Structure 1
Amino acid sequence: MKGFVVKGWCPDAWHPMEAGDGLIVRVRPRLGRLDRAQVLGLCDAARTWGNGLIDVTSRANLQIRGVGESTWQPLVDRLVALRLTDPDPVREGRRAILAAPRWQLGDDTERIARDLAERLDELPVLSGKMGFAIDAGPAPELLGEAGDFRIERGQHGGLILRADGRATGVAVPHGEEAARLVALAHWFAKSGGIVARRMARHRAGLPDWARGDVPPAAPAPRIAPGLSPLGAAWGIPFGQVEADTLAGLVAAPQVSALRFTPWRVVLAEGAVPVVMDGLLNDPADPLLRADACPGAPMCPQASVETRDLARRIARHVAGRLHVSGCAKHCAAPRRARQRGDATLTGRDGRYDLSGAGPERHALCRDDVLAHFGAS
């Protein structure tokens, strides 16, 4: 089992990551969706072989926490049986496909995501952090979210292929989208992109067939807690939820499935909005603007506590709040900082503060609370 423990990059079910509370096992729901049986099976597995806590990541993946070395293999076997993990570890490692969460059966997003999933064996070897974004609805939903190789709705109304880090893309023929994504991934690998590790950092000129001047269309609003055309949505504070709470979302007979978003919001198909303990019901809740990693002692690389502090100061921050236990900023690595945002970074057991007036360093917890008027 020791050979499977991964640190420093993205885990998956076959390659768990060690944390302060045990192993983290990542699950990649196909199209970000679990049907009722899969939800109940996942929650039972999290209670049986983990500590009952489930993370929802910024790529709409799920992570079962607190898994032991002796319980890891039974857990993976259960995930394979639920069709939540590919039985082939290589294919599972390539299933980093983020789909716009408002997809409908038979639409462009669903069609392209399934086509790409059938071509996983054609992909080159890529960094575990790399992935694809399929954002082919009427308006883009995933602008700014992680995705090295992207299919998006273009400003001209058609679909475009866009390399992350480039402001514009090129029109792509209907039915050729997945093939072009695979081709772009091969170009990345052959042109030295493996050294850069991410598409946005790769400075080689794109090939003619991947270069265009079509910008993405104006974005759609994010899914927020409350009523949705597909059902009802709830926020998940800091992306962590108890298995019993998640299972409770499918307790009503009219709820057929859950969809997970990169904004730590879960949508229950067919549900109606009700107050759920442990979830955020108000779209204006300040915790929806707060990103906080697990922090110490949950993460061995963190030197400070994060989430209790974030709860206490979130309502005192005008913009987004980001509290990170270390300099990796795992909770929101791509988030652009804007006026009114505040970032706290753990360093040697203290906090460095930026974005909320002059930078301050080596603050203790009481200093932080006093700075925000939360003491």
Structure 2
Amino acid sequence: MTGCTVKGWCPDAWRPMMAGDGLLVRVKPRLGRLTRAQALGLCDAAMAHGNGLIDLTRRANLQIRGVSEQGWQRLLDRLLAQGLVHPDPAIEQRRNLLLPPDCRTGDDSHRIACDLLDRLDELPDLPGKTGFVIDAGQACVLRDEAGDFRIERGAGGGLILRGGGRDTGAPVAPGKEADALVALARWFVASGGAHVGRMARHDAALPGWADGDVPPGPPAARIVPGAHDIGTACGAPFGCLHAETLACLLQASSARALRITPWRVLVLEGVHAPLDSMAGLITDPADPLLRVDACPGAPLCPQATVETRDLARRIASLVTGSLHVSGCAKGCARSAPADATLTGSTGLFDLALNAVPGSPAVRSAVGTAELLAHFERRPDAACL
């Protein structure tokens, strides 16, 4: 990753990260849900103390952008008052938990998540990018999402404990799921995992109680814009929207809460009517932007040497598969391979197919005009 600096940690509200447009302040909604009052309060805070832009992250978190160093404390105070940040910075750092966006109060995912949240003080000091995934519905909606310590529905119908990077997991008794997650996290640190950073890169043999041969259950479809059992969903292009847009959407609807997904899609809980088209939001499930990932790029990210999102918009309808436009080889917007991947380098792009950023390129040092012409001629990303 020449020219890229890997931070090795993720920002949160207590420990913001500097970007090209100011500090990034990450908010981790409890159980992936904000009440209507919390969501409106967050929008107001983002406009008062940031530049009004809000990112939706792949961990179903929110990031307030453009916060000044002088305004950070005032923003933090407001987030604490709204119950959006834990008052203990150490606990806040450990609240890296992903669960199905459509979980219900009292179901297995909700129950296990609440149990784990009550025991965060029992966790060891973990690397900043590690996280927990609880995917205990009837199908595994988070099967393709990154996570280090996982509770999932197994292929046989029971729940399993699975470490990140392992294909199979071990059965876990009902009511013992949080015990198993805490124990696996402790084993990870005790066995040297903290030095490699992620469970998928830790090649130590699992202890017998965590080493099983049960595969996770069948995958479920992602939530896409449109009607859903719990409400109505809409997308944010590249996971970015303006706080004013979100506030207007909440005020114009009867949404009682906001669910955050790891797919840059929001669910307005309790809204069961089609959403009016609104600038800055995706309401059509066939919108090609839903197949595109693009990081903020230059100038918002100091590590990027190329603009990303305007190019991604122009190419989106020209590509038949998935597209990833990355400002550098870190690939922050998407960890999985895309059908077509454009990686910025010294002001130009490298094109790779079925790849992640930084992979060997089939075309190197290509400019924007040349890329547009290429995809206009060859909309199938697999063709050259």
So what's the TM-score if we normalise by structure 2? 0.93
Alignment map for 1:176-325 (pairs within 5 Å): 176-252=176-252, 254-271=254-271, 272-274=273-275, 275-325=277-327
> Comparing 64-73 with 362-371, which one deviates more in the overlay?
362-371
Structure 2 residue aligned with 1:328: 330
| Aligned equivalents of 1:27, 1:217: Cα separation in 2 | 31
Deviation at 1:74, TM superposition (A): 0.6
Secondary structure of residue in 1 paired with 2:250:
coil
Q: What are the Cα deviations for residues 81-130 of structure 1, in whole angstroms up to 9, with x where unaligned?
A: 11110111111000000111110011011111111011110001111100
Cα distance, 1:287–1:253 mapped onto 2, change above 3 Å: closer
Indicate yes or no: 2:359 matched with 1:361: no
Distance 2:143 2:65 in 1: 29
Which residue identity does 1:345 align to in structure 2?
Answer: T
The size of the alignment, in residue pairs, is 366
Deviation at 1:248, TM superposition (A): 2.4
Q: In structure 2, give the amino acid aligned to 1:273.
A: P
**Aligned counterpart, 2:341:** 343
CA distance in 1, matches of 2:182, 2:18: 31
Change (3 A) 1:356 1:158: closer
1:7, distance to aligned residue in structure 2 (A): 4.6
In the alignment, which residue of structure 2 is the partner of 1:15? 15
AA aligned opposite 2:142: L
- Structure 1 residue runs of 5 or longer lacking an equivalent are 1-5
Measure, in 2, the Cα distance between the counterparts of 1:303 and 1:49.
27
- What CA distance in whole angstroms lies between the structure 1 residues aligned with 2:234 and 2:314? 21
Distance, in Å, in 1 between the alignment partners of 2:261 and 2:295 is 17
Offset, 1:319:
1.1
Secondary structure at the aligned position of 2:54 is classed as strand
Aligned partner of residue 307 in structure 2, secondary structure: coil
Q: Give the conservation status (yes or no) of the 8 Å contact 1:353–1:359.
A: yes
| Equivalent AA in structure 2 for residue 36 of structure 1 | R
Task: Tell me by how many angstroms 1:16 deviates.
Answer: 0.5
Q: Measure, in 2, the Cα distance between the counterparts of 1:283 and 1:19.
A: 31
- Matching residue of 1:119: 119
CA distance in structure 2 between the partners assigned to 1:173 and 1:252 by the alignment: 45
1:163 touches 1:199 (CA, 8 Å); kept in 2?
Answer: yes
Flag the 1:212–1:237 CA change in 2: closer, same or farther, 3 A. same
- Aligned-residue CA RMSD in angstroms? 1.6
C-alpha contact (below 8 Å) 1:54/1:63 kept by paired residues: yes
Residue 316 of structure 1 aligns to a residue whose secondary structure is coil
Q: Deviations over 1:262-313 (max 9, x none)?
A: 0000000111221222111111111000000000000000000000000000
1 CA distance for matches of 2:35 and 2:354? 42
Following superposition, the deviation at residue 196 of structure 1 comes to 1.5
- The answer (yes or no) to whether the contact 1:7–1:18 under 8 Å persists in 2 is no
> Identical aligned pairs, as a percentage?
63
SS across alignment from 2:332: coil
Superposed displacement of residue 356, structure 1: 7.8
- Tell me which stretches of 4 or more aligned residues in structure 1 moved more than 3 Å: none
In the other structure, the counterpart of 2:57 is: 57
Q: Name the amino acid aligned to 1:348.
A: T
* Runs of 5+ unmatched residues, structure 2: 1-5, 356-360, 378-384
Code of the aligned partner of 2:92:
E
- The yes-or-no answer on 1:41 pairing with 2:44 is no
Letter in 1 for 2:353: G
2:337/2:354 contact within 8 Å kept: no
Distance 2:337 2:375 in 1: 21
Residue aligned with 2:227, SS:
strand
In structure 1, give the amino acid aligned to 2:236: I
Q: CA deviation at 1:62?
A: 0.2
| Native 8 Å contact 2:8 2:128 kept in 1 | no
Write out per-residue CA displacement over residues 203-240 of structure 1, whole angstroms, 9 at most, x where no aligned residue: 01100000111111101111010000111000110000
Q: Distance in 1 between matches of 2:264 and 2:174?
A: 31
AA matched with 1:111 = R
Distance 2:16 2:347 in 1: 27
Q: 1:326 to 1:225 in 2, by over 3 A?
A: same
- Paired residues of 1:108 and 1:137 also in contact (CA < 8 A): yes
In the TM superposition, residue 336 of structure 1 has moved relative to its aligned partner by 3.2
Q: What is the alpha-carbon distance in structure 2 between the residues aligned to residue 103 and residue 8 of structure 1?
A: 30
1:200 & 1:55 partners in 2: Cα distance? 26
Structure 1 counterpart of 2:101: 101
